[in-house]
Amino acid sequence: MNVQLAYRRFFMNLLFLAFTFILLHGSSTAREEASRHDADDVVNIGAIFTLQTINGKVSKIAIEAAEQDVNSDPRILGGRRLSIKIHDSNFSSFLGFIGALKFLMTDTVAIIGPQTSGMAHVLSHLANELHVPLLSFTALDSTLTPLQYPYFVQTAPSDQFQMTAIADMISNYGWREVIAIFNDDDPGRNGVTVLGDKLAERGCKLSYKAALPPEPTATPSFITSQLVKIKSMESRIIVLHTFAKTGLLVFDLAQKQEMMSKGYVWIATAWLSTVLDSSSASNTSNSILGALTLRPHTPQSLKKQAFISRWKHLSNGSIGLNPYGLYAYDSVWTIARALNLFFDQKGKVSFSNKNLSSTGEENLNLGALSVFEGGKQLLDNILGINMTGLTGPIHFGSDRSPPHPSYEIINVIATGFRSIGYWSNYSGLSVITPEKLQLKPANRSISSQHLKPVIWPGNTIERPRGWVFPHNGRQLRIGVPNRVSYRAIVSQINASNAVQGYCIEIFRAAIKLLPYTVQYKFVLFGDGENNPSYYDLVNMITLDVFDVAVGDIAIVTDRTKIVDFTQPYIESGLVVVAPVNKLKSHAWAFLRPFTPMMWGVTAFFFLFVGTVVWILEHRTNDDFRGPPKEQIVTVLWFSFSTMFFAHRENTVSPLGRVVLIIWLFVVLIINSSYTASLTSILTVQQLSSPITGIDSLISSNERIGFQVGSFAANYLTEQLNIPKHRLVPLGSPEEYAIALERGTVAAVVDERPYVELFLSDHCEFSIRGQEFTKSGWGFAFPRDSPFAVDMSTAILTLSENGELQRIHEKWLSEKACAHRSSENEQLQLNSFKGLFLICGITCFMALLIYFLSMLHQFSKKSPIKAGPSNRDSSRSTRIQTFLDFVDEKEAVSPRKLKRKLEHISSNRLRSISKSRSERVQ
């Protein structure tokens, strides 16, 4: 098709070139003899439209009205008069090209049009050479860029904004796949390309592009063949980007194919809104009920309302006004305002000849083409215009787009049509008019994007889900692994095609929650003698052997590259299983709760705290005084008796009491932790194994078992770089047990659900270490299948209502092993670092305060009186004196002595009374 298109374009260009040569060569003399006596009084403007079309008819009336209004205002153009000649291209690009040449031969300063983007691409090259601005409000192809076509100006929003609006609508309704029907011409192809790009930005895609012949050559038979093909596809979201005649024919034929019924979504571009605005809706509404379309939005104003009231008189009731009529009127005024500024700038309408010739030996004389010398100045004036017209504010941004382009979204209903909201480039979808939203900060959040309810095809207000199963009438082929082990997960029933198990019940429960009926059948995959390869099972979906794969299929990276998975319905991950031995009890079992480091640090703190308390109490407490040997025994006794809170020595100093309180709290925590750990050691069977997890298994040279068909083998070799010769395939739990008992393998690596079932019957083995992968099981679907999204929603519902847990308990309930336990961990020093740190800081601060207090008291008792000559001897003497001062008994004040005597006497009285009562008893 591309080659044919290229040849066709090449032929047309040659034809245009030849005709131009003949036309210009023959008319050069006539141009030289033309009278120009009124050139200063009349400004010529051309317009090119197909007057048989709706936009052509509306534009002609609006342009003539604008010409009349401009010429009736003497303030515009300084007394000059606009002369607008309209050329009918009659659906022919060739005739449109000829009309443009005629305008360029008659000193035309600007051209309104052309109507189609294809002709705009051709004429823009002439405009570039001759400096004649082209203004079009219907040729809205987004590829007509100012970089390539500087003299072409779009006075209405380009198709890029329209396609962005459609993409936002599709994303807002949650649809993912779209079918586009378009005319196979420049605006059709380019518009659909932009739509595909905008959909991709939102996570959607064009699943099929149906190209129709350019208007008016599309035949009913060809359109019907395309509709039949589309009807057999999965997507039910159809975007129709054509012209009015072809578009209405598509709708009529789609109704005959029952494609305007419930479940379908039709979104037409702005051509449909022009039909609804400008013609009788009763003639077309029967075949377009429920369709959505876009209409360029223009804000309400008194000027616009006056023109609408005037329209019936202008058109004699022959045709209704649509937004493109407003753009046509404003385009004339844009040129008029720019010309007015041009003349104020002392610009003159003058033309010069430009000879075009080839660079070869043969010259091709195309005649004298007139170049508008003020064209660049007029173009700059047009781009710098700033006024208010019927369509609202008129000015052009840096990309030449109108300010804040917006559309009204229309829903076709039985009584005509109704507005369901707006889209603007500023704030997206909303039920509030764009001009009101522009007064607020832009908000494109999901919560702010909404439209009014829609009456969809089939006269329903229920939002279509946007897709159906392809090949209507065929049951879905559900691939199921034909397992020979772990049959509680999935298994065949009595050598039939019936299946049961944990995964099957979850699939059936989820599919019941779908809002539509699904016909399906299970197809077993595997020979029934060995567990099948799950990679092969998933690959069958890409080969169109299965539509869905249901079973214990792990969601891993390699598989997600070729299929889509649902939400996981069970968590999974690889774990290591190894034989374990019972730890035998011995005479030193009581030391097990703490590590050697923990024992050493604890013993050190017992002695350290006892020493600190002795220092703080030595001067004031008689219990901490006496001969050195007695004091050493006192420190040891006090230190270790705090473990049992049985110390007989009282603390009298405030600092000593603070230190003791903190230490007793630390001892309480240590005692409680030791007691709990020792209880666990003596009452729960302890297991040991040389394999402590995946790291120790990798570093060893032992052989590793794995389940046949599982992804574990690929993961171990590709991700962990374990040589294949170390891997041993195992097919059943019984083979696991035999291989582990005989030492054929040192450990088995498998997914946790399988391992939990295995350990429920084999308590002599245990999981070593933690899971070293995180994944889950899910159902596999073809890429971009919307069915996967609906099933994921159903699985989440099962999880929320507790049904998943009930099914799990039914099929995978574990038998508890009476003596299964994970490896006991000794209490580490790290667990108590905070306590020891607090205690150490408290002791240090207490000693610092005590030392400073002693220095202060000592300085008061014996002030420094040493001279320079005996400074060294005085220093040693003073240190000795200070140590003697610290060691001596602190003098007790009379008040303290009285309080102490009262305390002693009260203790004696209590002891006497207690002894007497004992004697009486």
Contacts of 384 (CB under 8 A, 6+ apart): 395, 396
Considering only 217-231, 660-674, 888-902, which range has the smallest mean pLDDT? 888-902
Looking at residue 30, its pLDDT comes to 38
Structure confidence by residue, pLDDT tens digits, 512-569 = 998 888 889 999 999 888 889 999 999 999 999 999 999 999 999 999 999 999 999 9
Determine the average pLDDT of the residues in 78-103: 88
Distance of alpha carbon 12 from alpha carbon 30, whole angstroms? 27
Q: Kind and range of the H or E element at 49?
A: strand 42-49
pLDDT band at 501 (very low <50, low <70, confident <90, very high): very high
Measure the CA dihedral 268/269/270/274, to 10°.
Answer: -30
User: At 553, is the secondary structure helix, strand, or coil?
Assistant: coil
What percent of the chain shows pLDDT beyond 70? 81
DSSP string, 630-664: HHHHHHHHHHHHGGGT---PPP-SHHHHHHHHHHH
Looking at residue 605, its pLDDT comes to 82
pLDDT band at 40 (very low <50, low <70, confident <90, very high): low
pLDDT band at 822 (very low <50, low <70, confident <90, very high): very low
Q: 177-183 and 205-212: which strand pairing?
A: parallel
The identity of residue 155, as a single letter, is T
Determine the average pLDDT of the residues in 676-680: 75
Determine the average pLDDT of the residues in 39-59: 90
Structure confidence by residue, pLDDT tens digits, 15-24 = 454 444 444 4
Residues in the chain: 921
Structure confidence by residue, pLDDT tens digits, 714-755 = 999 999 999 999 999 998 999 999 999 998 999 999 999 999
Considering only 76-80, 171-175, 187-191, 221-225, which range has the smallest mean pLDDT? 76-80
Considering only 21-25, 597-601, 605-609, 649-653, which range has the smallest mean pLDDT? 21-25
Tokens of 556: 């891993």
Q: How many helices (H) and strands (E) does the chain have?
A: 29, 33
What percent of the chain shows pLDDT beyond 90? 50
Structure confidence by residue, pLDDT tens digits, 654-665 = 777 787 788 778
The identity of residue 759, as a single letter, is L
Looking at residue 543, its pLDDT comes to 93
**Are residues 448 and 441 in contact, defined by beta-carbon separation less than 8 angstroms?**
no
Tokens of 787: 């069915």
Among the listed residues 651, 679, 675, the one whose alpha carbon sits nearest the alpha carbon of residue 663:
651
* pLDDT at residue 35 tops 80: no
Mean pLDDT of the chain: 83
Q: Which position has the token pair 């100093």?
A: 653
Contacts of 355 (CB under 8 A, 6+ apart): 365, 366, 368, 369
Q: Which domains does the chain have, with CATH numbers?
A: 40-155+315-354+368-394 (3.40.50.2300), 159-299+404-448 (3.40.50.2300), 476-570+777-799 (3.40.190.10), 578-582+687-774 (3.40.190.10), 589-683 (1.10.287.70)
pLDDT band at 837 (very low <50, low <70, confident <90, very high): confident
Which phi and psi angles does 420 have, rounded to 5°? -115, 0
Considering only 158-162, 287-291, 512-516, which range has the smallest mean pLDDT? 512-516
pLDDT band at 671 (very low <50, low <70, confident <90, very high): confident
Among the listed residues 790, 710, 779, 796, the one whose alpha carbon sits nearest the alpha carbon of residue 564:
779
* pLDDT at residue 214 tops 80: yes
